Amino acid sequence: MIVVPEIPSSPRLRTIGVLTSGGDAPGMNAAIRAVVRWADAHHVRTFGIQRGYTGILDRRVELLTSRSVANLIQRAGTYLKTSRCDEFLDPEQRRRAAQILRQWDIEGLVVVGGDGSLTGAKLLAEESGIAVIGVPGTIDNDMGGTEVTIGFDTAVNTALDAIDKIRDTADSHDRCFVVEVMGRRSGQLATTVGLAGGAETILVPEKATDFEAVVDSIDTSITRGKTNSIIVVAEGYGGGTGHDLTEQLNARGYHARACILGHIQRGGMPTAYDRNLGSIMGAAAAAHLTAGETGRMVSLQSGRIGLVDLDEAINGKRMDAVNMLELARTLAT
């Protein structure tokens, strides 16, 4: 249950922009819709900027109305499209972006994205005075200051659905499967789906991998009468790819198979949770931005929506993986 906060409703800014940046995440459209409709209801104009920061530099903007964002809440991806904009690392390009925003009278920007995107937002705000409010949107759930990011819940359920299906065939063939989920620097997705999917072993970037411990866990499972096992690995777990691990296991005599879930984890109809999180965070971002806040990100902590400094947000979430991994192992024996 997310507690909807008292949202400020006396806008001082009259024109804002909204963009999505970095990897898309299911629920981003709900956030875009909420920004536009909240602003519309409070007589604030919203420009939609296409393809993240690239769209500012390329002047790809459109004025959005409540009707522009109709029929969007149930769709994954991002209506505004997205990009990873390397040009924005250059201060000169950020200065140019601020100038362009001012030409359209855009006084503040809602940026929906992950840590790279919000780092760009922070620098833009500090260097140019353009107000920015971040909305955490990434399936990785690796932002600091918020317990959950938009898209995580849908990605967890997508990966879990795949793991359940893999378990069917693993069970039929008495096989070991290595399932690689996304997360270059974070094991949030891997631990959450691993525990929920009954994985025998979970490998994450936050904890060094010991190949012999993986072998031991499979052997222990076999000794205890289990005929199949699932090893969930985050893509950045540190021991190569899921294919590499599978090859290593097969070299030791296990007839393992690899399944790399990849980008399917970023698509699919957003869950109710992500639609609601996107809606509430998007509205809160528009409200706080137009009320004069800047340099902050909308967050969820203990069920309550609030704001945290962008510095805290982009510092990342430190996960204490040990207890979670231990519990998953105990419950899978």
Residues in touch with ligand F6P (CB under 6 A)? 22-23, 114, 138-140, 182-184, 235, 266
State both tokens at 72: 């969007």
Q: Count of residues for the chain? A: 333
Pick between residue 134 and residue 183 the one whose CB is nearest to ligand F6P: 183
* Min separation Cβ 119 and ligand F6P, Å: 14
Residue-wise DSSP of 265-298: GG-SPPPHHHHHHHHHHHHHHHHHHHTT--SEEE
User: Within 10 Å of residue 204's Cβ, how many Cβ atoms?
Assistant: 27
Pick between residue 184 and residue 243 the one whose CB is nearest to ligand F6P: 184
Pick between residue 188 and residue 299 the one whose CB is nearest to ligand F6P: 188
In angstroms, the CA 31 to CA 22 distance is 15
* Min separation Cβ 207 and ligand F6P, Å: 18
Q: Residue 237 gets which letter from DSSP?
A: S
Nearest to 43 by CA among 7, 11, 79: 11
Known catalytic residue at 140: yes
Core vs surface per residue 66-84: b (16+ CB within 10 A) or e = eebbeeebeebbbbbbbbe
In angstroms, the CA 97 to CA 236 distance is 33
Pick between residue 116 and residue 306 the one whose CB is nearest to ligand F6P: 116
Degrees to nearest 5, angle at CA 221 with 171 and 234: 80
Pick between residue 152 and residue 254 the one whose CB is nearest to ligand F6P: 152
Nearest to 138 by CA among 153, 158, 123, 159: 153
Q: Residue 22 gets which letter from DSSP?
A: S
Nearest to 134 by CA among 304, 298, 4: 298
State the catalytic residue, choosing from 140, 142, 153, 274: 140
Pick between residue 177 and residue 237 the one whose CB is nearest to ligand F6P: 237
* Min separation Cβ 226 and ligand F6P, Å: 30
- Residue nearest ligand F6P by beta-carbon distance: 23
* Min separation Cβ 193 and ligand F6P, Å: 13
Pick between residue 158 and residue 221 the one whose CB is nearest to ligand F6P: 158
In angstroms, the CA 25 to CA 22 distance is 9
* Min separation Cβ 23 and ligand F6P, Å: 2
* Min separation Cβ 262 and ligand F6P, Å: 9
In angstroms, the CA 286 to CA 281 distance is 9
State both tokens at 202: 């979970």
In angstroms, the CA 198 to CA 167 distance is 10
State both tokens at 328: 């998953």
* Min separation Cβ 264 and ligand F6P, Å: 11
Catalytic positions are 140
